[in-house]
Amino acid sequence: MTDAIVHFVVPEAVDDDRRVSGGNVYDRRVRDELPARGHPVRMTPVPERRPSAVARALASVPGDAVVLVDGLVAVSAPGALAAHAARLRIVVLAHMVASALPGTGESTRVAEREALRAARHVIATSEWTRSELLARALAEPDRVTVARPGADAAPPASGSPSGGHILCVGAVARHKGQDVLVGALADLADAPGWTCAIVGSTSVEPVFAARVAATIRSTGLAERVALTGVLTGAPLARAYDCADLVVAPSRSESYGMAVADALARGVPVVASSVGGIPEAIAGSPAAILVPPDDPWAWSTALRRWWRDADGRARLKAAALRARDARRGWDGTAEAIAAVLRAQAPAGRGAR
């Protein structure tokens, strides 16, 4: 039988390393993994917040085709999805619940509901995301499948000579909470030997990023805390290899790919107890969960990490054991492929 081509509508920046995000990494892995499972992928990047571009992209797809739409694109153009819902077999890939983000207005909630109702099926990237979609009445239980992100196999991290190198990976944005981290680190200025690299784009929320940078300078941390910008490939791998601790101070998080990547390298984690982060940790004793948006709690957790050498050693040993329990991308791709096969027209979905 002929395999179904999957038309994948994604944000324009999907391959732009300057704007790398967990969602873009996930989309690229889907693109790369699905062909081996009988689903050639035709990528269609569209500009963000351009409903007319999304409408044109969907109009160009042949009738009855399977279309996978990134959730950011879907929520930005619900009318376009609704207009083509009867003609196309639309599946939305929900990296997050847009209406769960802090400061979200009613217009976003309405757009998200309309976009997801236009889809025949929704793929959520975590059980937390699925539960939020159901709790907010955005989708029915039988229309949502979970396909968690994977984590690539990697050698165990070497760590730093001082044992005090902290790594934070994610776009510098309010929902990622780097301001909370910097506030906590300011309370550790008296502790010798630690450094922190904050790795991620500073152009997603430039005003917030500038405020974080100003706080680093005003608290005298400029020699110890570095805003590196985006790192990918070998430089990012080196940053993980040098890390003794990975932190994720997020205010909201649908999963926590950086957390999973850290544990895959045998690096302990301190992370906010929000969203899908506990799911990414999967109960590992190598991870410590901290209340979100609480610099004092973060300062306490980091000071305890720094002062307790035996505790650090126990967490490191647990993190090395956790490497064996990592989830690969194969499972992610197979879960998505199963959904796409079920949505494909008769005679074109089976292998």
User: 272-330: per-residue pLDDT in tens?
Assistant: 999 999 999 988 899 999 999 999 999 999 999 988 889 999 999 999 987 876 778 99
Q: What is the pLDDT of residue 59?
A: 96
pTM value is: 0.91
When pLDDT is cut at 50, 70 and 90, the band that residue 347 belongs to is low
Angle at 80 between CA 201 and CA 31, to 5 degrees: 50
| Bridge partners, 226 (sequence order) | 197
> Could you tell me whether strands 89-94 and 66-70 are parallel, antiparallel, or unpaired per DSSP bridges?
parallel
CATH class of 6-150+329-343: alpha beta
Residues of the chain with CATH 3.40.50.2000: 6-150+329-343, 165-325
Q: What is the pLDDT of residues 241-255, one digit of tens each?
A: 999 999 999 999 999
- Looking at the chain, the number of H-run helices and the number of E-run strands are 14, 12
pLDDT of 44-76, one tens digit each?
A: 999 978 999 999 999 999 999 999 999 999 999
Q: Which CATH architecture has domain 165-325?
A: 3-Layer(aba) Sandwich (3.40)
Q: What are phi and psi of 267, to 5 degrees?
A: -105, 125
Neighbours of 52 (CB within 10 A): 11
pLDDT at 161: 81
- Lowest model confidence (mean pLDDT) among 13-17, 59-63, 196-200, 246-250: 13-17
Q: List, for residues 217-242, the tens digit of each pLDDT value.
A: 999 999 999 999 999 999 999 999 99
DSSP, res 161: T
- pLDDT at position 2 is 39
Which residues make Cβ contacts (< 8 Å) with residue 246, sequence separation at least 6?
A: 166, 167, 168, 169, 240, 258, 259, 261, 262, 267, 268, 269, 270
The CA distance from 254 to 271, in Å, is: 13
Tell me what percent of the residues of the chain surpass a pLDDT of 70.
Answer: 97
CA distance 351 to 344: 12
Q: Which of 281, 285, 231 is nearest to 260 (CA)?
A: 281
Question: Is the Cβ–Cβ distance between 11 and 43 less than 8 Å?
Answer: no
Query: Is the Cβ–Cβ distance between 81 and 74 less than 8 Å?
Result: yes
- Does residue 31 contact residue 11 with C-beta atoms inside 8 Å? no
